[in-house]
Amino acid sequence: MPTNLSANEHFQQVVDRAVSRRGFIVKTGASAATVAFLSAGLTACGGSDDDPLPPAPAPEPAPTLGFTAVTAYTEDGVSVAAGYTATAFAPWGTPLFSTGPGSTWAGDGSETAAAQARQVGDNHDGIHFFPIDGKSSDEGLLVMNHEYSTTLAPAYTNYLTLFGATAAPANTLERVNKAINAWGCSVIHIKRTAGKWNVVLDSQYNRRITSSTPMLLTGPAAGDALLQTSADPTGTIVLGTINNCGNGYTPWGTYLTCEENWNNNFGTTVEPTVDGRTAAQKRYGLASGSTGYGWEVFHARFDYKKEANEANRFGWIVEIDPFDPTSTPKKRTALGRIKHENAAYAIAADGRVVVYTGDDQANDYIYKFVSTGKYVAGDMLNNRNLLDSGTLYVGKFNDGAATGDFMGTGTWIPLTTANPALSAFSSLAEILVNTRLAGDAVGATKMDRPEWVAVHPKTNEVYVTLTNNSGRTVTDDANPRTANRYGQIIRWREAGNDAAALTFEWDLFVLAGNPTMDQTNPLNKGSANVTAANTFNSPDGLGFDQSGRLWIQTDGGYSNTGNYANQGNNQMLAADPVTKEIRRFFAGPKECEVTGLTFTPDSKTLFINVQHPGENGNSHWPEGGTALPRSATVIITKNDGGVIGS
Ligand code: FEO
Ligand code: CA
Ligand code: CA
Ligand code: CA
């Protein structure tokens, strides 16, 4: 590029050139790049002018970012935009019942495994609010993930925190079981009274789902030999869900919890110096010997040399009916087995259900599932098993007309036995269990760690955070930086605006970066919508509100120095998808990540999660003083009672 241009100016120029060449971004006013491809005038995706595709939807008015941005924040509290109130809620250990184990909280980590099984879990992540009656904004079921809790590695204070210890205590069966019970999900009945949200103690809905709760494997791979173990020769009954990261939900009122870094829970105590891993076990990152968690020492099923297939029973999307506390969670094998971040649905033009997912690993893939059956509003009998039958696709992101314009076209490649590239797979079950290997075989595009997916509620455009990839050495237009430490957000529109389409057009919504740094690679200053005021790294959590504001949460470097100077603690920002403007709305306490978001139906209460405050030992949030740090939900309201973000 011309050396007298800033990175932002360069980014602007290449986008401008792409605009004039391809004509699918509408130029208005002074800034072409500030008008997105979701504006009026989009031609049919990936096709010629005479493609028989339906016209693009009418443009949506730009949602207003009505708040004043907060500055980078480095203290051990929370910072939220002026005129808003942020309150910690339901931290780790919160009792759900008034009697029995776990009905009190000592605050010193002394709770037993049995107590933890009846209290809110640790490391809050994905979250969703289900109105109690389908419409209430004052009462509902708050369902959330608890991603992890402990590791033996003393560098992580979560282990110390869980037991209130000052040095890494020896692992025991009781301690491992407490950890197992701190993972999973919580279903919490909550109600607002006189302006204050409370847990409804002893509600029939209150429930903990842990890493030992029985659940079913369903769909095409259920029962397959690859899923059978000595404890479960049927290959259909699993104990627990682990590494519940991001989430999804369905229009029929169920919660989707997504199993991410489950590989870290599987190791071996059998000849640990002999690397006996299969190619698939290596591809999924199982340890060659012991793990940091040590579960394999106390539970043989987590030792893959003793129970080779147990690990195959994790890495799935799990569907939970929060309104039936006796229901058995279902691992939906049709959606594939990866390190699932979250799941975001869309309804195709013909009514089929589409679920987008990302595999959070450097150089891994983006997927979408298209159901066989069609969604019928209000027909639970029809809808309840829609996620058991359909086609799984993996994404290929092509550079398109020009390299260096940060946009292109893409295709969805079917992962089926009919695909000749997958002839080495003996069955659909094998493809679904070893989804990553299938993605490798068909030549999917290696992305910069796909984290959350979000679907715009009005336009159906799909956005995905690509959080970072410090090891990238070969670039393409979708992943345009080597040693990518800042991350980007990619978005696409499916052909014909139909979620089931097999082709799409994409561009980058933002290249995160730090324009306050003297960067060797000018692209590390970020795209034109990154400024000294909103600089951030490692976008991770992502979601739209009903008005179409895009909310971005970060899980990245928080040193506030060097490459991360002037970025402060991890944070949440709001973006306008049309103008591309991004403003910092919230920042969390020290050494946390901000993750998970959900709104009440009136859009006036926002629930987000703060995970692992003080992961390196430097936080006492939320209680302060000398209290143990506790992951917690944060409830955000606008002081004038208005819509969040307006
Ligand atoms: Fe659990 Fe990729 O974040
Ligand atoms: Ca391109
Ligand atoms: Ca995440
Ligand atoms: Ca992350």
Best CA proximity match to 222, nearest among 357, 331, 381: 331
Phi, psi (deg, nearest 5) at residue 51: -60, 135
What's the gap in Å between 507 CA and the centre of ligand 2?
8
The H or E element spanning position 134 is: none
Best CA proximity match to 538, nearest among 471, 450, 612: 450
The atom number, within ligand 1, closest to the CA of 260 reads 1
Phi, psi (deg, nearest 5) at residue 312: -70, -10
User: Which long-range contacts (C-beta less than 8 Å, at least 24 apart) are formed by 514-517?
Assistant: 514/486, 514/563, 514/564, 514/565, 514/566, 514/567, 515/6, 515/7, 515/8, 516/565, 516/566, 517/562, 517/563, 517/565
Best CA proximity match to 337, nearest among 490, 226, 211, 491: 226
Q: Measured between alpha carbons, how far is residue 414 from residues 304, 367, 391, 392 in Å?
A: 30, 10, 7, 6
What's the gap in Å between 361 CA and the centre of ligand 1?
9
Asked whether 498 and 492 are in contact (CB, 8 A), the reply is no
Asked whether 365 and 445 are in contact (CB, 8 A), the reply is yes
* Nearest-angstrom CA–CA distance, 15 and 8: 11
Asked whether 86 and 636 are in contact (CB, 8 A), the reply is yes
* Nearest-angstrom CA–CA distance, 407 and 254: 35
| CA R_g for the chain | 23
7-260+315-638: CATH, from 3.40.1180.10, 3.40.50.720, 2.120.10.30, 1.20.58.2030? 2.120.10.30
260 lines ligand 1 (CB under 6 A): yes
What's the gap in Å between 9 CA and the centre of ligand 2?
18
Q: Which two tokens stand for residue 44?
A: 């049919």
147 lines ligand 1 (CB under 6 A): yes
The residue count of the chain comes to 646
pLDDT score recorded for residue 42 = 27
* Nearest-angstrom CA–CA distance, 256 and 248: 5
* Nearest-angstrom CA–CA distance, 539 and 512: 8
Question: Which residue's CA lies nearest to atom 1 of ligand 1?
Answer: 245
Asked whether 588 and 609 are in contact (CB, 8 A), the reply is no
| Strand segments (E) across 421-483 | 447-448, 450-455, 462-466
Name the DSSP letter for residue 327: P
Q: Which two tokens stand for residue 24?
A: 């699918």
Three-state SS string over 568-636 comes to CCCEEEEECCCCCCEEEEEECCCCCEEEEEEECCCCCEEEEEEECCCCCCCCCCCCCCCCCCCCEEEEE
505 lines ligand 1 (CB under 6 A): no
Name the DSSP letter for residue 61: P
Q: Which residues does residue 359 pair with via DSSP β-bridges, in sequence order?
A: 340
The H or E element spanning position 190 is: strand 184-193
Q: How distant is the alpha carbon of residue 176 from its chain centre?
A: 26
CB atoms within 10 A of CB 5: 13
Asked whether 57 and 459 are in contact (CB, 8 A), the reply is yes
Of the bound ligands, which one is closest to the alpha carbon of residue 596? Answer: 3
* Nearest-angstrom CA–CA distance, 385 and 333: 12
Phi, psi (deg, nearest 5) at residue 623: -75, -30
Domain boundaries, given as residue ranges, for the chain: 7-260+315-638
448 lines ligand 1 (CB under 6 A): no
What's the gap in Å between 246 CA and the centre of ligand 3?
6
* Nearest-angstrom CA–CA distance, 523 and 633: 35
360 lines ligand 1 (CB under 6 A): yes
pLDDT score recorded for residue 28 = 29
Best CA proximity match to 38, nearest among 61, 66, 11: 61
Q: Spell out the residues 6+ positions from residue 116 whose beta carbon is closer than 8 angstroms to its own.
A: 93, 102, 178, 181, 182
Asked whether 25 and 19 are in contact (CB, 8 A), the reply is yes
End-to-end CA distance of the chain: 39
Q: Which residues of 289-322 are buried (b: 16+ CB within 10 A; e: fewer)?
A: eebbbbbbbbbebbbbbbbebbbbbbbbbbbbbb
Q: Which two tokens stand for residue 370?
A: 């298209």
Q: DSSP secondary structure string, 379-443?
A: -HHHHTTGGGSEEEEEEEE--TT-TTSSEEEEEEEE-STTSGGGTT--SHHHHHHTHHHHHHHHT
Of the bound ligands, which one is closest to the alpha carbon of residue 557? Answer: 4
Residues with CB under 5 A from ligand 2 (ion): 399-400, 405, 408, 477
Asked whether 268 and 304 are in contact (CB, 8 A), the reply is yes
* Nearest-angstrom CA–CA distance, 345 and 400: 26
Of the bound ligands, which one is closest to the alpha carbon of residue 507? Answer: 2
359 lines ligand 1 (CB under 6 A): no
451 lines ligand 1 (CB under 6 A): yes
What's the gap in Å between 595 CA and the centre of ligand 1?
9
The H or E element spanning position 125 is: strand 124-131
Q: Which two tokens stand for residue 444?
A: 């999917």
- Burial label for 73, CB within 10 Å (0-12, 13-18, 19+), is buried
In degrees, rounded to 5, the angle at the alpha carbon of residue 643 between the alpha carbons of residues 640 and 644 is: 100
Q: Which two tokens stand for residue 155?
A: 């560098």
pLDDT score recorded for residue 18 = 38
pLDDT score recorded for residue 430 = 98
- With a threshold of 0.85, does the pTM exceed it? yes
Tokens 């057009």 sit on residue? 505
Asked whether 596 and 609 are in contact (CB, 8 A), the reply is yes
| Strand segments (E) across 283-422 | 317-320, 330-332, 340-347, 352-359, 362-364, 366-374, 390-397, 407-414
pLDDT score recorded for residue 153 = 53
* Nearest-angstrom CA–CA distance, 389 and 394: 16
* Nearest-angstrom CA–CA distance, 172 and 439: 39
The atom number, within ligand 1, closest to the CA of 467 reads 2
The atom number, within ligand 1, closest to the CA of 261 reads 1
Asked whether 644 and 599 are in contact (CB, 8 A), the reply is yes
Phi, psi (deg, nearest 5) at residue 217: -90, 130
The series of mean pLDDT values per 10 residues for the chain, 646 residues long, is 42 41 30 30 30 49 88 98 98 98 94 97 98 98 93 59 79 92 98 97 98 98 98 98 98 98 96 90 96 92 98 98 98 99 98 98 98 98 98 95 89 98 98 99 98 97 98 97 98 98 98 94 97 98 98 98 98 97 98 98 98 92 95 98 97
**Among positive and negative, which fits the CA dihedral 587, 630, 295, 258?**
negative
Q: Which two tokens stand for residue 427?
A: 């069955």
364 lines ligand 1 (CB under 6 A): no
* Nearest-angstrom CA–CA distance, 600 and 641: 13
Name the DSSP letter for residue 487: -
pLDDT score recorded for residue 261 = 97
